[in-house]
Amino acid sequence: MSAESTISQPIDKLAEEAQSLLEFEPHLSEFVTSWLGEMRKAVTKRELTGRVEHVGRIIHVADGVATVSGLPEARFNELLRCPGNVYGLVFNLDPEEIGCILLGEDKKLSAGDPVRLTGEVVVVPVGEALLGRVVDALGRPLDGEGFIEHERRDPIEAEAPPILDRLPVVQQLVTGVKAVDALIPIGRGQRELIVGDRAVGKTALAVDTILSQRGSDVICIYVAIGQKVSSVKRVTESLLSHGVMRQSIVVCADADDSPGLQYIVPYAATTMGEYFMRKGRDVIVIYDDLTRHARAYREISLLLRRPPGREAYPGDIFFIHSRLLERATRLKEEMGGGSLTALPIVETQAKNISAYIPTNLISITDGQVFLDPDLFYKGVKPAIHVGKSVSRVGGRTQLPAMRAVVKQLRLEYAQFAELEIFTRFGATVEEETQKKIERGRRIREILKQQRLDPLTAGEQVAILLSVDRGIVDNIPLEKLARFQQTLREMIPAKHGKLLKKIESGEELQDTEWDALAKSIEAIAADFSEEKPPPEKGEPSPEKKEEPKTEAVEKKREKRTEASHEEKAEVQPAAATPDDVDDVNDAEPTPDRETNSDD
């Protein structure tokens, strides 16, 4: 039977029914005949295409994963469509069944429900419309601001740019944190790990980095993986209050989301950042944190019966992080010319940076910033351990003015950390060593910084210049915080052009350095313990002599006589009431305190 006769069968049946109708309505004969003819022509010309659907059935579903049978055509990482607008991701390919990760709640699904292959992979929206928004791992808005009119959708999994498409990292990423920018500089396109125990300021350091980009063209993406909703809300409010939300994207998969969403969220955020990188923009992506990401992946793998390895993690745990962080780079001009800087965060337990996940990430990244809980509890914030922190790439990117004032700073601070250990037990040290310790304490105090208060590069250079020139050596430790605040308020008004020159990456002349140092010295004079020397023509203040009374002199003579008598093993004479009265009337001298028993 031909296709044309198959198509015309319904029309013939319809024509028979119309003829029976015309027996009762003969005046409609011409109209019905014309209509049937047009329908026959239209149906004959229409091309009928068939659609094949691959449908399987859920065997088992629980804890964010499902086992499906009847889909032998499924491919790895292919997207599945389940009832209730729930999607899944093909994860295991077994001979008789497949294991999939559910990208949503599994409460609406049950065994026997149909599952369809889509022939697609997971994609997320990208474009300028995402700036200023809070979205989930699939790019759906969470902030209640309405639909996102994205430009296109890109897959979350992408190959890292090849070596020939990359350029060296040559431009510094100013974080606004003095300890980082001075001692552990980070370059645009670098991968720098932030590692430390729980609640020691890792997220605060990352948020300060975002806040310091205010007024620049850097795009900031904050990725919350398994965080509490209250924590994500706090970060979002900080970005809004400081005016950087309009150049930021918050991508969230909180602790209540399924492990599948927590697993794909860093890849989705990286795809959003790569769109801007290929447009020639500089992007920062903060992954907070990859410890929870690894735990979500371990949970999925164990539920799908994958063989466990060290610490019950699957064997490819290194690969899921390496393929993510390898996408951070700086591209050539013909490839877009942008950069993507990755700042992953990892949590340690009891300062154990040799654990499985931290060591994996340390070997993948280009350096790490280690936050020490001991320093944190002593009030040193940010609690950066200089000895365990390193930046293998960022040193060459440091601003010339910054490099000029921190040449010896890291060495001096590291020496101070070692010398301070010996002074804790009351050991006596040489005068030169004591000076190094006092200078190290001032360096540590200068490097302290309040959260949510990033500094510009110019302000940092001015403050660090006061350390390099020894201007702060005579300022008491308790006054250094007020000195820095005064310096930040007064220096921009006097040397605004000079600070802009520093931030633009230009080198300063000796005269410019001297002018800046002179202004800092004038500010430091109000906080210094030692007053500046008198100007020419002014008489020097006379040194006051210590008051000496007859009673004090008499007491000293008696003590001398008593000591001689003790040496001669002769009992000393008892003090007379007159002597006691004289001593009580005497004024104490500065070189020795007088006890009431005397």
The residues assigned a catalytic role are 392
Specify whether the CB–CB gap between 369 and 194 falls below 8 A.
Answer: yes
Residue that the structure tokens 């697609």 belong to: 120
Compute the distance between CA of residue 125 and CA of residue 592 in angstroms, rounded to an integer.
78
Specify whether the CB–CB gap between 368 and 167 falls below 8 A.
Answer: no
Compute the distance between CA of residue 393 and CA of residue 511 in angstroms, rounded to an integer.
31
Exposure b/e, 316-341, CB count within 10 A at least 16 = b:
ebbebbebbbebbbbbeeebbbbbbb
Instruction: Give the three-state DSSP class for 591.
Output: coil
Instruction: Give the three-state DSSP class for 394.
Output: helix
Compute the distance between CA of residue 224 and CA of residue 254 in angstroms, rounded to an integer.
7
| Residue 593 DSSP one-character state | P
C-alpha 579, offset from chain centre: 72
Specify whether the CB–CB gap between 172 and 188 falls below 8 A.
Answer: yes
Closest CA to 179 of 454, 500, 513: 454
DSSP string of 433-458, one letter each residue? HHHHHHHHHHHHHHH---TT----HH
Instruction: Give the three-state DSSP class for 405.
Output: helix
Instruction: Give the three-state DSSP class for 265.
Output: helix
Could you tell me where the DSSP H helices lie in 202-303? 202-211, 229-241, 259-277, 290-303
Closest CA to 215 of 178, 187, 242: 242
* Token digits of residue 439: 């200078």
